[in-house]
Amino acid sequence: MIEIKNLEKIYPSKTGGFVALKDINLTVEDGDIYGIIGLSGAGKSTLVRCINLLEKPTSGQILIDGEDLTKVSKKRLLQLRRNISMIFQQFNLLQQRNVLKNVELAGEIAGNKNPTEKAIELLKLVGLEDKLNSYPAELSGGQQQRVAIARALMTNPKVLLCDEATSALDPETTHSILELLKSLNKKLNLTIVIISHQMSVIEAICNKVAILDKSGIVSNGYLQDVFLSPTNEVAKKLIYSGHVNTGIKGEKFVKLMFTGEVDKPIVSNVITELKISVSIMYAETKLINDRVCGQVIFRLPNYSEDIVKLTDYLTRENVPFEEVDSDALY
């Protein structure tokens, strides 16, 4: 379990210091795939680098299974880092070593005198057993990231930190890497912290998510909760961006949320039985944590007449809903 308590990071600068992180409190449970999402410059990389102390926090605690990383000796820190591996956007493989040697190195560092067998086993696990003698320059981005994953697993970590691990990859390769991470999470009970600026990456794999904005966490929790009811501007931007653009100002819309519990054709009932005419401004369904989640945003042309009828019906059917300002959707 990773507990981050009151973490603060200030980069020193001539003008007195730049606050990259403030008031960060976050708990990642064993087995979680925890997403951290935010716009560029929000502090995501800084946060993830604080977790293994590649970046030294200015104040606050990083507890790994109760042990405070900011307080342990240098020697202990190096030991603990083996429990928290990391992969990167640019893969960061050693260019002058072949695939097998790259992976073996991680074992050597951990004091394993005979790392070859294990390295080959892990390279099989990531599907690269036929590339043992290739050099990183001869591999595609996706293959390089697989090598990096095998290398990260070499130290038997409990946690894998991923800093934009798929941002340099095309959608298909991204998908296959995410699937690999998911299977490692299941197979090895590997806890994963994944940083991304893409909602699609988080949705595909995470069970929990934290939204980081301007150095602080603005919302966090189970993915479906954060996803279905974005409570602040950044969350809305990340979730609706590029999808909803009505151009309509000053109206109220009604948003219905589905979390896989209602088993009725709600939308069609609203139209055919309640005889409410609606325009659908936005609709999507997603598989989140193996449940179908979705949302539909209605515009009611006859708002004043229909709104009470509609809200009564939705309350009766136990469909969560809320009114949203048309301006608040991007």
Partner 1 sequence: MPFTDILIMIAETVGVTALATLFAYVLGLPCGVLLNVTGKNGLKPCKWLNTLVGLIVNILRSIPCLIIIVLCIPLTREIFGRGTGEWYTILIPLTVCAFGFVSRMVEQSLAEVPAGEIEAIKSLGATDFQVIMKVLLPEARVSLVTGVAVVAVSILGYTSFAYNIGAGGLISGIYTFYTRHTGDYLGKFIFWVMIVLVVLIVQGIQELGLFIAKKLDKRKILK
Ligand X SMILES: Nc1ncnc2c1ncn2[C@@H]1O[C@H](COP(=O)(O)OP(=O)(O)OP(=O)(O)O)[C@@H](O)[C@H]1O
Q: How far is the CB of 107 from partner 1 (least distance, A)?
A: 9
* 132 counts as binding partner 1 under rule CB under 8 A: no
Residues 139-158, one symbol each (x = binds partner 1 by CB under 8 A, - = not), give ---------x--xx-xx---
* 52 counts as binding ligand X under rule CB under 6 A: no
41 binding partner (options partner 1, ligand X, Mg ion, none; Cβ < 5 to 8 Å by kind): ligand X
Return the residue of 6, 11, 68, 214 that touches ligand X, per CB under 6 A: 11
Report how many residues bind partner 1 under the rule CB under 8 A.
Answer: 33
Q: How far is the CB of 40 from ligand X (least distance, A)?
A: 3
Q: In the range 160-199, which residues lie near partner 1 by CB under 8 A?
A: 161
18 binding partner (options Mg ion, partner 1, ligand X, none; Cβ < 5 to 8 Å by kind): ligand X
Residues 170-199, one symbol each (x = binds ligand X by CB under 6 A, - = not), give ---------------------------x--
Segment lying near ligand X (by CB under 6 A), choices 42-50, 250-258, 269-277, 302-310: 42-50
Q: Are 282 and 243 in contact (CB under 8 A)?
A: yes
Segment lying near ligand X (by CB under 6 A), choices 40-48, 62-70, 202-210, 318-326: 40-48
Residues that bind partner 1 (CB under 8 A): 52, 54, 78-82, 84-86, 88, 90, 92-98, 105-106, 108-110, 135-137, 148, 151-152, 154-155, 161
Residues that bind ligand X (CB under 6 A): 11, 18, 20, 38, 40-46, 197
